[in-house]
Amino acid sequence: MRNRAHRKPFSLWLLLALLVFLGVSSVICGGMLIAAPDGSLMKMPLSNLEHSPFTTFLIPGLVLLFFLGVYPLVVAYCLWTRPSWRWPEALNPFRGMHWAWAASLAAGVIVLIWIVVEMIMLREAVFLHWFVLGWGLALIALTLLPAVRREYRVRA
């Protein structure tokens, strides 16, 4: 049991902030793509999908909403509350760590996969792509920091 006076390290606060901001912004953007699959709400032409398997932004919007929106928000909640749910533990490849820590690492990997695939499909890389790539790397780096790892090490 954690001491109520236990202070969370700054790196964990930063990780939580990055996850929440990623989640909120992706829910908004994903929702806009779902609401207007032609890209009009985000002022994105359908020609951006020319080298992709998609004809509208509906599927990318759904992926953005759930995998980069809802998922990071749930991960942030679980990092904060450390729920003792048993089912996610079955998916945790890091037996010495709380499953929420592994989920945080996965969130960073999901961001990297998303943005690299997007850059390949668009056949270009603009500032925003590099920014999001850095965001994903920051999520991974913060999750791997010793202070954060100590917070989520499973104590027997």
Q: Which helix (H) or strand (E) holds 102?
A: helix 99-122
Query: Domain-by-domain residue ranges, the chain?
Result: 10-152
Cα 47 from Cα 55, distance rounded (Å): 9
This prediction's pTM: 0.92
Q: What is the predicted pLDDT for the residue at 1?
A: 47
CA angle 23–25–29, rounded 5-degree value: 115
Identify the burial level of 76 via C-beta atoms within 10 angstroms of its C-beta, where 0-12 means exposed, 13-18 middle and 19 or more buried: buried
User: Using CA atoms, how far apart are residues 76 and 33, in angstroms rounded to an integer?
Assistant: 24
- Contact between 112 and 137 under an 8 Å Cβ cutoff? The reply is yes
pLDDT for position 5: 60
**What is the DSSP secondary structure assignment for residue 68, as one 8-state letter?**
I
Average pLDDT across each block of 10 residues of the chain; the chain has 156 residues. List them in order.
72 98 98 98 96 97 98 98 92 94 98 97 95 98 98 86
pLDDT at 136: 98
Question: How distant, in Å, are the alpha carbons of 53, 62, 155 from that of 135?
Answer: 26, 20, 30
Which pLDDT score is estimated for 2? 53
Neighbours of 149 (CB within 10 A): 15
pLDDT at 6: 77
